[in-house]
Structure 1
Amino acid sequence: MTAAPAPNPCGPALDRWCARWLPDPSGFIAVAYSAGADSTALLLAARERWPSRAVALHVHHGLQAAADGFESHGRAFCEQLGLPFSSSRVQAAHEQGQSPEEAARDKRYRALADMAQQAGAACVLLGQHADDQAETLMLALSRGAGLPGLAAMAERFERHGVVFGRPLLGLPSQVLREWLLAQGHAFVDDPTNTDPRYTRNRIRSLLLPAWEACFPGFRPMLARSARHAAQAQTLLDDLAGIDMAQTGAPPAILVLKALSRERQANVLRRWLRSSAGVAASTVQLDELLDQIADCTTRGHRIRIKVASGFVTREGERLAFVPPDNTPPI
């Protein structure tokens, strides 16, 4: 007798994710399908779970000659499976002050959201896995990130009016690749994934093997740390909401000063993020907190550079002045 095919390892992970985040979806379910191993395994699992409602969304970044081949392979693979395939071409060149990775990511999410809305998809599933999560956490640690960075990648988030999900964060990449190879499913390998110019690739080729040698099976442990950080950040966000109900937005300086320095910092981060979409660096935030502590007279002036604008004092409250409105010194 011929042995039954091994089950797709993405299946149970997808079941768990749906039970928590998408218990009763309506409409189509989209998969961000690059034609690489991870998204291929996820697409096959989505097709098995939603035979008539899974769709593949492909983003052609135009950054390398191999991109045309990725798109062609993806289209042919979906035709073979009888899956709808949509592709969007974007110009992912980065602007001044923006990293190439950041530019490509922003354009990719926008394109995926647009295609998902056109397809009537309830959500877009992403193939990022446990290795990606470990790399993200290591990258955050190397930059001295706070809790938002240490929380790494969320299982669910919304962008451009569309829900995105990452059901595979608990699965190592090797598990997915081995299953695909054993079942004879074709996928492509992106040559940029081994380019040492990119920090993530150096982490992947140098740090992850070293961690595996010292701490076998470390990936779930890092994922657990990321979940703890995410939970702690949620509590801080809740506390910031409670405190902002007292300080107002923009914050009243006297009310802000009644809080501990740590709670002041928490409120200021929340206010800047929600009102101006900016984040202060650690140095900028420390300087702003020092200025607030020294603000004991009506004439005390505050003007601290934050992102591309300034936090200033206007009467009894703080204000964020964007760059176009910043008065000369």
Structure 2
Amino acid sequence: MCVRLARNLFKTSDFIQCQKLILAVSGGSDSLALMFLVKEHLETLSVPPEMIVVTVDHQLRKESTREVETVAKICRVHHIKHIAVRWEGEKPKTHIASSARVARYDLLVKEAQKQGASVIMTGHTLNDQVETYQMRYQRLQKNRGALHGEVGAMRDEVYSSGFAGVLRGEADGIRDENHAREIRKKITKKNDSPLYERGLSCIPREALLHRKVRLIRPLLGVKRQTLRNYLRLQGQTWIDDPTNEDRNFERVRVRQSLHPEKLAYIAQKINEAALQRRQQAKNIADLILALDITVQHGRCFIAKPALFLQKHSSFPFVVGLFAVLMGGGFYLLPNQKLSMLVQKLCLDSVEKKRFTYAGSVIEYNKHGISLWREGRNMKEAIVEPDKTFIWDGRYQITNHGSKAIKIGAANLEQLKFLLKNSDFELEKPHFPSLQSLLMISNHKGYDIPELISRAVVHKHVIIKRIMAPFDWLSSREDAALVNVLEPFFNIEVKR
């Protein structure tokens, strides 16, 4: 059983170009089983990567330090390199579980980069997967009435009018009819299904952390009891976390209410949802490529689409997606909000209309749709030397200089002065969107890196445009979509 279990868990691609591998091990049964199974598998490889076990001490319970020492002792016995890292600082009063998760992954990525590891593996099991599905499904059920009505309205509006209001017109954007037919065939092949809840695909087997380090979860198809039986055969005990029985946590309540016989059924539902999410990502990517979209100087413009593109069931998702990305949002819009977006966009008017949504201003007329960051809640911040800061969910600023810098939104008067006194020219400046650009300043002056090609005041600073919903953790299921989006936001300025 042990040999068969270890043999079926890993893919050859898990270890490609991997010289060092981080295993997140808490001492619980799942992560300890992962450690021994990986060790067994690596012994079968001709050139295995170095395995490094990392234990995160969240410092939330008094037993945590002793548990870290227990893992370290097990690793010493089995000649495995072990590193302990701590979640330092004041802990939040609420949302402790989610905050600890973010801190844990951030610490794992930091250690992976320090060690030169390209892969992190965690011990999430089929039980974790099913519990996640059940929690998300129950939340979805609570809103079922509203979602049923609004998603139905969205579908009816999309198919009957195809954004006919301001965007009505013949398909004159594509002159070559043969080319139009080919694109139409490709992106409308499976265009008769409504947008589903992406979250029901649950935990992906593979993801990308910080756009840098692969996160792989090999045990997602294995029951926790199977792993515990495996550990017993190894003569290995594990640590039981008392919070796993604390009914104050939603996951514990769901776990205790789940019947074991439902695991296989829900697992199948998750697999179907993952395949659907992957297919939808490809469909949306094809639609984005077929549309005429530009992102420049803080503004996104979607030119008036041909009618068959307007009728695409994913068109609302694309508009909502770019609204989130331009507005610096961290989460994509759920179906309920997408249906509200459709209702706003489907106004039958030839005049220019404007509204705010997902942190963005959305303006549309007979020429198409413009989106830019809403002009509020863009707070100033200080970036100290040798620190990295995420500003407004849109920019990552790394200060390699010797002095602190101030960052914030571009000031209108300073913006006009820079445009007037630099070699940068804009034929028709759109100041509302230009004012959403990042401005760096100190006592010597100010600089808007996206507009000015040379450093005016600041040096040793790196500014990178990010896509917040995909920057911290990007699922493999969304790879096709992310690959298409990246060129729109591939902005990196080094001073």
Shorter-chain TM band: 0.7 to 0.9
Identify if the C-alpha distance between structure 1 residues 254 and 25 changes in structure 2 by more than 3 Å, giving closer, same or farther. Answer: closer
Count of matched residue positions in the alignment of Structure 1 and Structure 2 = 308
**What's the CA shift string for 1:149-174, capped at 9, x where partnerless?**
11011111110211011111111001
Q: TM-score with structure 2 length normalisation?
A: 0.57
Residue range with higher mean Cα deviation, 82-91 or 254-263: 254-263
Question: Are 2:36 and 1:44 aligned?
Answer: yes
Identify if the C-alpha distance between structure 1 residues 239 and 311 changes in structure 2 by more than 3 Å, giving closer, same or farther. Answer: farther
Identify if the C-alpha distance between structure 1 residues 87 and 141 changes in structure 2 by more than 3 Å, giving closer, same or farther. Answer: same
Identify if the C-alpha distance between structure 1 residues 59 and 8 changes in structure 2 by more than 3 Å, giving closer, same or farther. Answer: farther
CA positional deviation for 1:320: 4.2
CA positional deviation for 1:287: 2.0
Q: Which has the greater radius of gyration? A: 2
Question: Are 2:86 and 1:89 aligned?
Answer: yes
Alignment check: 8 A CA contact 1:9 1:179 kept = no
CA positional deviation for 1:186: 2.1
1:164-313 alignment runs, 5 A limit: 164-206=215-257, 208-209=258-259, 212=260, 216=261, 218-245=262-289, 246-249=291-294, 250-252=300-302, 254-255=304-305, 258-260=309-311, 262-272=313-323, 274-275=325-326, 276=328, 277-294=330-347, 296-304=349-357, 306=358, 309-313=359-363
Identify if the C-alpha distance between structure 1 residues 230 and 270 changes in structure 2 by more than 3 Å, giving closer, same or farther. Answer: farther
Alignment check: 8 A CA contact 1:27 1:122 kept = yes
How far apart, CA to CA, are the structure 1 residues paired with 2:361 and 2:95? 26
Identify if the C-alpha distance between structure 1 residues 94 and 154 changes in structure 2 by more than 3 Å, giving closer, same or farther. Answer: farther
Cα-Cα RMSD: 2.7
Corresponding residue of 2:14: 22
Alignment check: 8 A CA contact 1:34 1:59 kept = yes
Alignment check: 8 A CA contact 1:93 1:103 kept = no
Describe the SS at the equivalent of 1:255.
Answer: coil
Percent of residue pairs bearing the same amino acid type: 21
Residue range with higher mean Cα deviation, 290-299 or 74-83: 290-299
Corresponding residue of 1:113: 109
Alignment check: 8 A CA contact 1:129 1:173 kept = yes
Describe the SS at the equivalent of 1:54.
Answer: strand
Alignment check: 8 A CA contact 2:352 2:363 kept = no
Identify if the C-alpha distance between structure 1 residues 92 and 124 changes in structure 2 by more than 3 Å, giving closer, same or farther. Answer: farther
Residue range with higher mean Cα deviation, 51-60 or 105-114: 51-60
Identify if the C-alpha distance between structure 1 residues 26 and 310 changes in structure 2 by more than 3 Å, giving closer, same or farther. Answer: closer
Q: Report the AA paired with residue 268 of structure 2.
A: R
Q: Report the AA paired with residue 322 of structure 2.
A: W
Q: Report the AA paired with residue 108 of structure 1.
A: R
Alignment check: 8 A CA contact 2:363 2:371 kept = yes
- Following superposition, which runs of at least 4 residues in structure 1 exceed 3 angstroms of deviation? 23-26, 91-96, 272-278
Alignment check: 8 A CA contact 1:131 1:173 kept = yes
Alignment check: 8 A CA contact 1:61 1:92 kept = no
CA positional deviation for 1:297: 2.6
How far apart, CA to CA, are the structure 1 residues paired with 2:284 and 2:364? 22
Alignment check: 8 A CA contact 1:13 1:168 kept = no
CA positional deviation for 1:298: 2.6
Question: Are 2:370 and 1:318 aligned?
Answer: yes
How far apart, CA to CA, are the structure 2 residues paired with 1:202 and 1:18? 34
Residue range with higher mean Cα deviation, 45-54 or 255-264: 255-264
Q: Report the AA paired with residue 254 of structure 2.
A: I
CA positional deviation for 1:269: 4.1
How far apart, CA to CA, are the structure 2 residues paired with 1:92 and 1:242? 45
Identify if the C-alpha distance between structure 1 residues 287 and 311 changes in structure 2 by more than 3 Å, giving closer, same or farther. Answer: farther
How far apart, CA to CA, are the structure 2 residues paired with 1:23 and 1:76? 27
Residue range with higher mean Cα deviation, 124-133 or 295-304: 295-304
Consecutive unaligned residues of structure 2, counting only runs of 5 or more, are 142-195, 295-299, 380-431, 433-495
Corresponding residue of 1:3: none
Consecutive unaligned residues of structure 1, counting only runs of 5 or more, are 1-5
Identify if the C-alpha distance between structure 1 residues 321 and 256 changes in structure 2 by more than 3 Å, giving closer, same or farther. Answer: farther
CA positional deviation for 1:141: 0.6
Describe the SS at the equivalent of 2:106.
Answer: helix
Correspondent of 1:149 among 199, 223, 231: 199
CA positional deviation for 1:62: 1.2
Alignment check: 8 A CA contact 1:55 1:84 kept = yes
Alignment check: 8 A CA contact 1:251 1:318 kept = yes
How far apart, CA to CA, are the structure 2 residues paired with 1:297 and 1:92? 55
Identify if the C-alpha distance between structure 1 residues 243 and 127 changes in structure 2 by more than 3 Å, giving closer, same or farther. Answer: same
Determine which structure has the larger strand proportion and give its number. 2
